[in-house]
Structure 1
């Protein structure tokens, strides 16, 4: 049996778990629709990055392939596409047989290919002529076209088949302006029934207006995904900012990674456009009548808030609310925050108060994914305007956020903030900040923020993360050393409390696993709990296999990629892998080692991926305070007991619903309630 799951098949297994929520009758209807949208969005990025990457190396020298892959990439790609095909068949079935009928049962009629009824014709035609028509750019694909037609990345199009006056067939390319207009339009209510139509269908009803001299013979939707990974060939010389900007401009010109077409399209039409757009058979993937189903995020709910999750208002933390300055509260005791269960406003307070407090002299922070309208960046600009020294590291190689990060970096730089850009050969993925303040007695005190999630107010309401606010010197002094290293990588620095990629992270993780192995071999309890987004590094997986073979109990909570194969006799029989997919995206990383009852506990930004452990700057930090440790241990205990949204990954990569015989435990709701009662 193969020791490791394939990375990409494992990710598809996670996306299948997302799809399971879309078919779960216990999930409110519009939340099920959101899971369809999440699934589609995930898959779109998968093709833009992972499939594009695989396809680009299919013809690489076999010796190189064998070093990197367990099997030829061509074979892997074939397996991936087969799994995607099966999942998309299930996606279509859920939408067709479950979601649409359930909407109808609730009094919401969703037009799905049928002719728009007479009562809506006037509205639809008016909307077409007054709104949609503004964005349409029909192109007749005739032989007179001397220049090649460029299909934009992720843009929706129609291929329209037209019979001309001589009886021959012409073809037209027509854009569907889903990036400019809402994809789904609410039509006038009739009686007790609400009606919704996609702009695709409104366009189909009005094609004769665009092509009055032709007879419409057919209309089929298409979409092209292109390779979206930026290729910075030489990060060690030249201006990296300019290179990133240049590559962003080229992103939409990447090679095809997936050409989606309506499976109802006749073969002659498919052959024509394959040749016209210079596609290959490997580019082609049959789909349904509609593409870009992540647009389902836009689907309005006329019965809101019914058919959606009930709200869970963010829990206030009385200790912070009662403190005039957040730094005074941190002086008394380290503070642990759990998002989105507790309010992210406290993070905003941390930066806002630092910006205005005259006793704060310096602020330092790292950014990986910045919110498009960032309160935190605005606070740092205010700090700089108030005469404080502000140093910010901005990672401009954060995939799909490069442009936004560059925008904010340039804006902050204009305000006088010292901006540090990406390090050659590395990404800085750490989520940390440091405030240097002169306390009331004149002493210099440092306040650290260390988190598992980005400084991003938008994602903080849907990503489940943890963050520590601390004044402890053993943490803040090491944070200061990290920022010194980010300024000048030639400096020699070392870390004892913090686990930092490029310095000590893998050695320390191995030591802590070895410690559990030794306890087990000596007849004591060995127990490890690790919560990650992704687990892929074979070195760390082998270390967990070694622990299992020594009798250590290993409980993993892995949201997405998991290359470790659990439950295999003689290899991993004491290892379990849990997955939780619910209303919030599980994003925190937790590392628990029983250590003969001493219970070592760490939180941080690092997944156990090769990229995180060896090609990034990550920060994992300890929790020593017994009360704070109790909170995180409670979190993972509840998640391991989740039998409502929890699944276990079996040795064949299947998501198996947890059946533990206990009363229903939905971990995100249970932890929310536990936190609410705690405070």
Structure 2
């Protein structure tokens, strides 16, 4: 990118128009980094298989939401040029080109690398023709007993129109011939999603479910000749569109929309590359698709189903076991006394979620001195001990208030179920605001102390109250009994449940009112500090960096000479290292065993760093259409700990991906050939050092 060939500082009004990368392509490059993990021979084999599955699942969601949204804008005439300068049609064309390339690379990784490597370990994924006769016989019995009863072949003729193809469903397109009149007909057979994606033909030997069905099509079309069959799969728009101004309740509106969502327009057709031109032409016409929406890949399709292979009980082919530290609040310590004594910073999964955040809610539910518990729930697990504890508390007569975000994408049904269960138990369930998602991660416990006074205990975090994902997601949280934070969190809950319009807080920044402005104000202060000769630096860690106003503030800081470090997991539309614009900005990404999910914002502040953590990513939806909260970390040692963490990701010897000004991510592999100094894996480092931080430390 050649923004400023003269390399001289740009005045504020001269920020270049092409200073932002394309958001959608940046997301695809994030998924490319996931694919690179699947391609990495240094990782355990089944973990590579899991990353291959994650790539496929990620891409499904990208098409269901982002691609579908762009297509909808075009269809409704609301096509608006993006910040990167592309029109929706141009963006869709670029998505198609990159996605085609990545899907072929994904398929090649499976066929050329992982499938042979699995076979060497005695785990085989085979097509029907490669199975032994004894295995086929076993699968014939399985077909008769378990598969045949749930199949419904649908033929297309003058009396039967082309059937509806549900989103993410795997199907067989079948051509049959009537021997009496030689007429050919098209039929569709849906591969049942209730059955395993890969069927075990014999121990550690698997075959795709559609192959088993295809081998028995003659039993579905008795008396007809099966001419050909081909697997295909469609992806539909599955983003929610809810008119929240209607008079009926939000919960009922959401339930209605979930039923409608299955019938969104098709945005992608996946077919095996062996499909005949005639069948492909028929599918394309019936589904009203153009060439760019068709993705031909070697079979089998839907490799998201490889997660079942990754789950095999083969510990020697997986990451070594890891047990989180339980030292943040020792199990024999009085929990509330420990939090009263000092703020507790927890870092999951390195610190146990069960013995910290979950323990706080469970002990609060059982403690007769606790009067009230207030909790936000965005996503939680199906057998959530958090929900069970809240129900127990309500049944014991405590006041329990739960703010449930019904519109947590792809978790809507689960959240509806838990909301109803909580209501039945006597909890006060609130669904947040019309037009705003409640995404902040807050817990508040009100407890009567021995002296008769009330004290508030709070947890403010970066991750969901989800015990299962807490073992897989990297997140941070602050447990505190600080009075100012308790006052802030109480005020924010009153805002969520009532009509409070409080906009200022002691130690919180809250979206959509003050969060963006608060971060930009602090970036500007770093510029002033630098000009005054004081230590100045900006360090951000987030999942996505998209917000143009925040990025422009970082550009201004860079042009003023302030070093800016950004650690981002996914999307980043900022262009780092561009002469005259972002010379002083570095962007790194870490992907690995755990999903980097925490958000941390650190400012050097003249040598006494100011550090914030919380739920907000730097995206329009988070800053403008969600209730988010960041808390300022007060403890000096904890602030230093977080700054060290951020600096660690930026060190030359750390294994990361590095972004350049053209949007290219390069994996730092220089040290891989240096046997004496291998690259430092941040996550492995934190696992090894998980016990260095104690309550007294």
TM-score range, shorter chain: over 0.9
Match 2:55 to one of 32, 39, 45: 39
Match 1:341 to one of 350, 354, 376: 350
Post-superposition offset of 1:69: 6.6
Structure 2: which 5+ runs fail to align? Answer: 4-17, 672-676
Does 2:449 align with 1:439? yes
The corresponding residue for 1:350 is 360
Partner of 2:499, secondary structure, is coil
Post-superposition offset of 1:630: 2.9
Between 461-470 and 299-308, the greater mean CA deviation after superposition: 299-308
The corresponding residue for 1:425 is 435
Query: 2:536 touches 2:607 (CA, 8 Å); kept in 1?
Result: no
The corresponding residue for 2:14 is none
> Partners of 1:355 and 1:303 in 2: how far apart?
37
> Partners of 2:285 and 2:427 in 1: how far apart?
52
Between 342-351 and 469-478, the greater mean CA deviation after superposition: 342-351
> Partners of 2:77 and 2:221 in 1: how far apart?
50
Match 1:126 to one of 141, 152, 172: 141
The corresponding residue for 2:401 is 391
The corresponding residue for 1:568 is 578
Query: 1:110 touches 1:197 (CA, 8 Å); kept in 2?
Result: yes
Partner of 1:315, secondary structure, is coil
Partner of 1:299, secondary structure, is helix
Does 2:176 align with 1:162? yes
> Partners of 1:427 and 1:611 in 2: how far apart?
9
Post-superposition offset of 1:61: 4.6
> Partners of 1:660 and 1:36 in 2: how far apart?
25
Answer 1 or 2: higher relative contact order, Cα 8 Å, separation at least 6. Answer: 2
> Partners of 1:67 and 1:26 in 2: how far apart?
39
> Partners of 2:149 and 2:324 in 1: how far apart?
42
> Partners of 1:280 and 1:659 in 2: how far apart?
40
Post-superposition offset of 1:95: 0.8
Query: 1:29 touches 1:307 (CA, 8 Å); kept in 2?
Result: yes
The corresponding residue for 2:628 is 618
The corresponding residue for 2:165 is 151
Partner of 1:635, secondary structure, is helix
Query: 1:512 touches 1:593 (CA, 8 Å); kept in 2?
Result: yes
Does 2:390 align with 1:380? yes
Aligned positions of 1:172-321 closer than 5 A? 172-177=187-192, 179-189=193-203, 194-235=204-245, 237-279=247-289, 281=291, 283-299=293-309, 304-317=314-327, 319-321=329-331
TM-score (ref. length: structure 2) = 0.93
Post-superposition offset of 1:333: 1.3
Query: 1:236 touches 1:424 (CA, 8 Å); kept in 2?
Result: no
Match 2:97 to one of 82, 87, 96: 82
Post-superposition offset of 1:163: 2.6
Query: 2:46 touches 2:310 (CA, 8 Å); kept in 1?
Result: no
What RMSD in Å do the two structures reach over aligned CA positions? 1.9
Query: 1:481 touches 1:493 (CA, 8 Å); kept in 2?
Result: no
The corresponding residue for 2:116 is 101
> Partners of 1:272 and 1:603 in 2: how far apart?
53
Query: 1:389 touches 1:417 (CA, 8 Å); kept in 2?
Result: yes
Query: 1:263 touches 1:289 (CA, 8 Å); kept in 2?
Result: yes
Query: 1:36 touches 1:293 (CA, 8 Å); kept in 2?
Result: yes
Partner of 1:58, secondary structure, is helix
Q: Measured at CA, do residues 557 and 67 of structure 1 come closer, stay the same or move farther in structure 2, by a change above 3 Å? A: closer
Post-superposition offset of 1:23: 0.5
Residues 204-227 of structure 1: CA deviation (Å, up to 9, x unaligned)? 222222223233222111112111
Query: 2:22 touches 2:83 (CA, 8 Å); kept in 1?
Result: no
> Partners of 1:67 and 1:39 in 2: how far apart?
25
Query: 1:236 touches 1:425 (CA, 8 Å); kept in 2?
Result: no
Match 2:41 to one of 25, 44, 52: 25
Post-superposition offset of 1:144: 2.4
Does 2:21 align with 1:5? yes
The corresponding residue for 2:600 is 590
Residues 364-408 of structure 1: CA deviation (Å, up to 9, x unaligned)? 111111222211111111101101011111111211112211111
Residues 564-584 of structure 1: CA deviation (Å, up to 9, x unaligned)? 011100011111111111010
> Partners of 2:90 and 2:197 in 1: how far apart?
37
Q: Measured at CA, do residues 302 and 413 of structure 1 come closer, stay the same or move farther in structure 2, by a change above 3 Å? A: closer
Query: 2:19 touches 2:84 (CA, 8 Å); kept in 1?
Result: no
Q: Measured at CA, do residues 643 and 132 of structure 1 come closer, stay the same or move farther in structure 2, by a change above 3 Å? A: farther
Residues 137-165 of structure 1: CA deviation (Å, up to 9, x unaligned)? 111222221x5511112111100122320
Between 423-432 and 313-322, the greater mean CA deviation after superposition: 313-322
- Number of aligned residue pairs: 671
Between 384-393 and 261-270, the greater mean CA deviation after superposition: 261-270
The corresponding residue for 1:328 is 337
TM-score (ref. length: structure 1) = 0.95
Q: Measured at CA, do residues 234 and 348 of structure 1 come closer, stay the same or move farther in structure 2, by a change above 3 Å? A: closer
Query: 2:64 touches 2:235 (CA, 8 Å); kept in 1?
Result: yes
Partner of 1:613, secondary structure, is helix
> Partners of 1:479 and 1:128 in 2: how far apart?
57
Query: 1:589 touches 1:603 (CA, 8 Å); kept in 2?
Result: yes
Q: Measured at CA, do residues 437 and 299 of structure 1 come closer, stay the same or move farther in structure 2, by a change above 3 Å? A: same
Between 427-436 and 99-108, the greater mean CA deviation after superposition: 99-108
Post-superposition offset of 1:604: 0.5
Partner of 1:229, secondary structure, is coil
Query: 1:366 touches 1:433 (CA, 8 Å); kept in 2?
Result: yes
Post-superposition offset of 1:458: 1.9
Post-superposition offset of 1:278: 4.8
> Partners of 2:517 and 2:491 in 1: how far apart?
20
> Partners of 1:587 and 1:279 in 2: how far apart?
36
